[in-house]
């Protein structure tokens, strides 16, 4: 059995996580609507599209081995806009929860963030994903130029209307 290191919550505030996510997006030269597969690839990782029923056998949604190789597993039956949020969420686990402990990873051990759940670790990854994909300044600008049309805003950021709606509420735009 493989020894797994699980993510631990950082305890950072939502605002702090969001600022960090926007900084990471800038450092990675990510612009809204760009390919997240390319972002993962540029970090030395890969995105695997797996059958929904095989996700558990494929391991977690994010796996990083003791050599630092990253694999993001996402269901093959979901939409591209849902996939964008999922990949950004897993990047949240990578930057928030893996990188701070990577030196603690022992030979043969893997870091694994599993799919599902609703705890502080998952909230932090969601906060990261939202701000990474929809930076505050650009979101407000898009929301204004589209006169609050959440579908147009979602399309601009290549996210689901629900993700854009939640971001608008977070930024007190609705």
**DSSP at 168:** H
The structural domains of the chain, ordered by start, are 4-134 (1.10.10)
pLDDT digits (tens, 9 = 90+) for 158-170: 999 999 999 999 9
Q: Which residues pair with 49 in a beta bridge?
A: 74
Closest CA relative to residue 87, chosen from 38, 17, 136, 121: 38
Please tell me the predicted confidence (pLDDT) of residue 58: 53
By the 8 A CB rule, do 70 and 39 touch? no
What confidence tier does 59 reach under pLDDT thresholds 50, 70, 90? low
pLDDT band at 72 (very low <50, low <70, confident <90, very high): very high
What's the gap between Cα 76 and its chain centre?
A: 17
């Amino acid at each position: 059995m493989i020894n797994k290191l699980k993510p631990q919550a950082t305890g950072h505030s939502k605002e702090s996580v969001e600022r960090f996510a926007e900084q990471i997006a800038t450092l990675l030269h990510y612009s809204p609507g760009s390919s997240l597969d390319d972002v993962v690839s540029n970090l030395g990782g890969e995105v695997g599209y797996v059958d929904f029923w095989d996700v558990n056998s494929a391991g977690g949604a994010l796996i990083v081995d003791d050599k630092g190789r990253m694999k993001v597993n996402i269901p093959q039956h979901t939409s591209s806009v849902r996939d964008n949020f999922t990949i950004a969420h897993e990047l949240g686990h990578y930057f928030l929860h893996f990188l701070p402990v990577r030196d603690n990873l022992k030979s043969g051990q893997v870091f694994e963030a599993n799919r599902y759940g609703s705890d502080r670790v998952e909230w932090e990854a969601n906060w990261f994903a939202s701000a990474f994909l929809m930076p505050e300044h650009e979101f407000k600008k898009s929301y204004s130029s589209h006169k609050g049309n959440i579908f147009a805003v979602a399309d601009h950021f290549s996210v689901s209307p629900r993700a854009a709606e939640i971001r608008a509420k977070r930024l007190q735009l609705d």
